[in-house]
Amino acid sequence: MMNFNDFVNEVKGNIKLFLPKDYENAEVSVMEYLKLNRAYTGLVVRKEGEMIAPTINLNQLYEAYNTQPGVTMETVCRKIADMVSVAPIQVDLKSILNYEDVKDKLFIRVSSAEANKEVLENAPYQLREDLAITYHVAVGKDQDGLSSMFIKNDLLEQYGITAEQLHEDAIKSSPHVMPPEVSSMGALIDEMYQKNILMLTPDEREMLQETLQESSEMPTFFVVTNTERVDGAGVIFYPEFMDNMGELLGNDFFILPSSIHEMLILPDDGQVDAEMLKEMLKEVNATQVAPEERLTDEVYHYDMKDHVFEKADRFTERQKEKAAQAVKTEKDGKEQPEQKPKAKKHDMEL
């Protein structure tokens, strides 16, 4: 089996053989990239005179090369050539460097502050518990999805604004750039069922029907994401979102970070226990969610009355503190002896 370094050198040395003639003077380079939630080795093929070029994730291709039968070095190079020669989105760099031009294209994402410590050292962000809100510019949309740029400190400096201003503007424009989408878990499974039913074998159909049956017996989870269903977990921090959700449910609610793409919301009707939810989330994260798509193992809670987003165990503590305080106040009130006015000293002297 070829090791990763040999694979990278082989790709770098051969890629031009698979590219059109106008790429013969292109610059081919390999760089280490540290992005939110992931680090990878990227191949960049930059044509003469072009300002930007796509970055190809070589770690993903190496995995396919090693694990998928029939994937040869030629297959890998042809795949890269296709990705490179499909005209990359030509971005007007001047407009990206001008804050007034990007202000309405800003949107937020959330990620684990702990897992992305290194990346966050060079970028503006705000913390909500252990989640980091970061800021991005939507560069363009096509059939492959959204192209975006992560705002780091050097770009913030170029904009000449404060991190607070960036946060305020990004929170305001996010719902327009990445509109929110809320649906019940059952509705999502139904949608998958409708889409896949014709492509399933009878056995698979039966399995899916059993899953549907089980899901109808589960508590009512709501899925919060954006209409792209990509990097949608930040939707819960859109303006007024949590208050509106609470009004809709008529209740406080738990928030489970299902992945970087969505949050699950479960009404806090006294039937579920935060500890149980945390155990469930930990199990799902460990077995069902790819490491680069995980958020955290924490369960959060939104308190409608106090308008507080916090870790669920902190909410439990606050409730205990409140209850203890109420008992103490009541007790103090009862124990207070009736105060008789003190006789003045001179009244006692005859």
Per-residue model confidence (pLDDT) at position 135: 96
CB 287 within 8 A of CB 280: no
Q: What percent of the chain has pLDDT over 70?
A: 79
pLDDT over 70 (residue 141):
no
C-alpha dihedral, 263 to 268 to 272 to 278, nearest 10° = 40
Gyration radius of the chain over CA positions: 28
139, burial (CB in 10 Å: exposed 0-12, middle 13-18, buried 19+): middle
pLDDT tens profile 15-37: 888 988 888 888 888 888 777 77
Strands 222-226 and 253-259: unpaired
Per-residue model confidence (pLDDT) at position 334: 63
pLDDT over 90 (residue 140):
no
> What amino acid occupies position 344?
K
pLDDT tens profile 203-254: 666 665 665 555 455 557 889 999 888 899 999 999 999 999 999 888 899 9
Instruction: Please state the pTM of the whole predicted model.
Output: 0.73
pLDDT tens profile 47-62: 876 766 778 889 889 9
